Amino acid sequence: MPSGIAALVAAGALAAAPAAAQPVSAQDQAAAQAIFDEARALTAAGNHAEACPKLEESQRLDPSIGTQYYLAECLEAIGRTASAWTLYLQVGDLAEVAGQSARAKYARDRAERIAPSLVRLTIRVPDALRAVPDLHVERDGSVVGAPQWGAAVPVDPGRHTVVVTAPGKKPWRREVDASAPGETVAVDVPPLADAPGAPTPDSAAPPLAPPRPAGSAPAAAAPGSTRRLVGVVVAGAGLAAAAVGGGFGVRAMAKRDASNDGHCDAQDACDPEGLRLRQQSLDAALVSTIAFVGAGLALAGGAVLFFTAPSDRVPAAEPSVHVSIGPLGASVGGRF
């Protein structure tokens, strides 16, 4: 760099207004100045590879137009042309705002000089893939938004990695070399393959059966078998009722025999104990009669259910049967 221009840049390095709006502590300013001086010494010795990181740290601690310019110059020296080009343009804008027209012009001239040698990378995403929900594209770990897809973006020369991901899809990765000065390298992203286990139209689940109305019973898998089972249960209840009727019949006869044993004569004239025994005999006889009637009805209903049950291959309404036994009678009813 000509000595006059270097002096111009150095003279304004510390006087330039900070690019950051946040105040800088005295400690950070001291650290920034120390590593800036080390970086300048390394640059003078031609050791740009070690100087650039120190200039980056100095700029982070205490941003200034001068430090940013030297950083752009250092990055250009190590071949990071896209980064240097960007910083030169920023320096030009900042210097113009600060009223440093000479520095602004020099920075812009440097940017213009290296522009033809910039390496550019284009990531082309097909329309079908753009429609995939939550499609995510990265270049060297940085997100590449949709507005950049298809644009020739300046990148530093070297190898670059493009990664594309989307939910339910296999990640796609491609590493390319973009090093030749002035070249544009295009990366065409293919359709993404489905990830293992991801649902596809061919493997979609079958449609669900319509929901049952609230409170309704589930459909019987075998209506004929169900009806026959109900018939057996009803017939069993009939047998139980017959057993009850037989027990109360025996009790009725026992009470009558007890009343005739010295409490009632042949003309059925009874003393108080005989009257009580006769009444108990009549009550037991009534219950026995009702139980036998109910048993007969239940056995008949069970038989009807069992022998009229439809085939299991034919849909049928689910049967509903009830048996009622009371002190004055018995009944069997339902829907078959």
pLDDT on residue 228: 75
State the CATH number of the domain containing residue 157.
Answer: 2.60.40
Q: Is the same domain home to 182 and 128?
A: yes
Residue numbers of the domain that contains 90 = 3-116
3-state secondary structure of 331: strand
Same domain, 84 and 147: no
**Residue 201: inside a domain:** no
Q: Is residue 182 part of a domain?
A: yes
**Would you state the pLDDT for residue 279?**
79
DSSP H helices, 143-222, are none
pLDDT tens, 103-146? 999 999 999 999 999 999 999 999 999 999 999 999 999 999 99
Residue 249, CA distances (Å) to 103, 140, 291 in order: 126, 99, 10
- Average pLDDT of the chain? 80
Q: Do 111 and 169 fall into the same domain?
A: no
Total number of domains constituting the chain: 3
Q: Both 148 and 124 in a single domain?
A: yes
Write down the pLDDT at residue 282: 78
Condensed to tens digits (0 to 9), the pLDDT of residues 298-323 reads: 778 767 766 776 766 544 445 555 55
Residue 193 burial (10 A CB sphere; 0-12, 13-18, 19+): exposed
The Cα–Cα gap between 92 and 246 comes to 116
Is residue 199 domain-resident?
no
- Please report whether residue 203 resides in a domain: no
Residue 139 sits at φ, ψ, to 5 deg, of -125, 115
Do the domain assignments include residue 137? yes
- Which among 188, 215, 246 is the end of a domain? 188
pLDDT for res 229: 78
- In order of 45, 97, 235, 301, the CA distances from 199 in angstroms are 62, 57, 53, 54
Are 233 and 306 spatial neighbours (Cβ–Cβ below 8 Å)?
no
Residues 7 and 112 in one domain: yes
Residue 21 confidence (pLDDT) = 53
> What are 240-252's pLDDT values in tens digits?
877 877 877 777 6
pLDDT in tens, 42-92: 999 999 999 999 999 999 999 999 999 999 999 999 999 999 999 999 999
Tokens of 7: 């002096």
3-state secondary structure of 168: coil
Q: Is the pLDDT of residue 16 over 60?
A: no
Do 227 and 329 have their domain in common? yes
In a domain, 57, yes or no: yes
Residue 205 inside a domain? The answer is: no
Cβ burial, residue 45 (10 Å; 0-12/13-18/19+): exposed
Highest mean pLDDT among 39-43, 269-273, 301-305: 39-43
